[in-house]
Amino acid sequence: MHRSRLLALITCLTTLALATVLPAQRDGWTSLFDGKTLRGWTQRNGTAKYKVRNRTIVGTTVKGSPNSFLCSDKFYGDFELEFEVKLFDDQLNSGVQIRSHSFAPHNNGRVHGYQVEVSTNGHAGFVYDEARRGWLSKDRDDPHRRAAFKSGEWNRYRVICLGPTIRTWVNGVQIAHVVDEVSPAGFIGLQVHSVSGDPKWRVAWRNLRIRELGDGGGYASLFNGKDLQGWKVNENPASVRVEEGAIVVQGERSHVFYDGPVYHHDFKNFELRALVKTKKNANSGIYFHTRFQKGGWPERGYEVQVNNSQGDWRRTGGLYAVDDVKVAPAEDDKWFLMEVRVVGKHVTIKVDGKVIVDYTEPDDVRREPGFKGRLIDRGTFALQCHDPGSEVHYKDIAVRLLPEGAQ
């Protein structure tokens, strides 16, 4: 065989081999569907049938089923999403969930969040807030946009989520432009709507691909920098104030709990970050998986210690009385970045990018008296005011939710 032909054959075979091993990814794009299986997806709520046929995902209605959703196992925050969808039966209403969620404590796991509509009634491409607030797209009367979706054909969708902005296109026609900050990240879901009777109506998707934008985003701010909106102080409200864009804790013992709307102030797997500044001899802490109580030291949840110089030997970044740190990784009077990541029973704490604690809670863990509530569970966050001699500032407090099935 001629050398040039041999090289060409080798190149072709190598390319084919890589294509079978590596995920479909090019120019930042990643395929959400391998064309053969439903790997990477989990069905939630209803019992509609999802099958792979001819490199498409086909959803079929089932008698008596509520809305069904085939949901990505991964969460996405800032991204560009493209897919094609076809309604085989015009009567069927469908949609694609973005930045959506299903939490056991919230309405028994009911899927809720932004939905990009799929229908033949003129609403295709507009944004609906599934199982929450209804239509977010209020401008659904333009005839040009209402005519973008083609009955009986494959329709090309494009969705861009960046920060609080959601924009959609159907077959090249820009449809929706919504600005909303309720859910900055979540899964993608393919909906088969509930129907009466047993018509076995079908909807199909193909060529689903996504490109994350920037670092993927997905962080939700828990503090507006102006006041304590979304926060609840317990026994000594005068010990907590807002000053120069920061929550300042100083005074008699008190705790301020996040009680706001972000993810219903209920967190299990997450990444929390905050800028922290301690004054000399200050002692404080950040609690997670806790809940509001009227007084005393929080009985539930873990405390991430904040203490660079106070008399207590337990220093910043440690899990108080569980996995303690003896040497402070930060200094007083200087802002430092605290990051807390919880996935399952695994807790990682970083200070200014350096891992300080890497802890996994044992399955048979037993706590000392007074610390029996120091267990992985779910709950909210709290900032501690330890004593009148302690002054600590917190700002830029934000959280990114992680899938509850993540490892």
- Residue where one domain finishes, among candidates 159, 188, 212: 212
Q: Are residues 205 and 237 in the same domain?
A: no
Q: Are residues 309 and 253 in the same domain?
A: yes
Long-range contacts of 242-245 (CB under 8 A, 24+ apart): 243/393, 245/395
Do 315 and 358 reside in the same domain of the chain? Answer: yes
What is residue 245's predicted lDDT score, i.e. its pLDDT? 97
The pLDDT value recorded for residue 16 is: 38
pLDDT at 26: 61
Q: Are 268 and 388 in a shared domain?
A: yes
Domain range enclosing 122: 26-212
Q: Is residue 118 part of a domain?
A: yes
Model pTM score: 0.85
pLDDT of residue 12 exceeding 50? no
The single residue listed with the structure tokens 């449809």 is: 175
CATH number of the domain within which 49 lies: 2.60.120.560
Q: Are residues 174 and 272 in the same domain?
A: no
Q: Is residue 9 included in any domain, yes or no?
A: no
The CA-based dihedral angle spanning residues 15, 157, 57, 218, taken in that order and rounded to the nearest 10 degrees: 80
What confidence score (pLDDT) does residue 368 get? 87
Q: What is the pLDDT of residue 8?
A: 41
Contacts of 165 (CB under 8 A, 6+ apart): 177, 178, 179
Tens digit of each residue's pLDDT (9 = 90 or more) over 342-376 = 999 999 999 999 999 999 999 999 888 889 999 99
Q: Examine the domain organization and report whether 318 and 244 are in the same domain.
A: yes
For 202, the 3-state DSSP assignment is strand
pLDDT at 79 over 60: yes
Residue 137 clears pLDDT 80, i.e. is over it: yes
Q: Do 389 and 272 share a structural domain?
A: yes
Q: Does residue 182 sit in the same domain as residue 275? A: no
Is the model's pLDDT at 33 over the cut of 80?
yes
- Amino acid 19: pLDDT: 39
Q: Please tell me the distance from the alpha carbon of residue 319 to that of residue 286, in angstroms, as a whole number.
A: 10
Residue 53 has pLDDT above 80, yes or no: yes
CB 289 within 8 A of CB 312: no
Is 19 within a domain? no
Please check whether residues 188 and 257 belong to one and the same domain.
Answer: no
Q: Report pLDDT for 30.
A: 96
Query: Same domain, yes or no, for 169 and 301?
Result: no
Containing H/E element for 19? helix 3-21
Residues 89, 193 within the same domain: yes
The three-state secondary structure class of 86 is strand
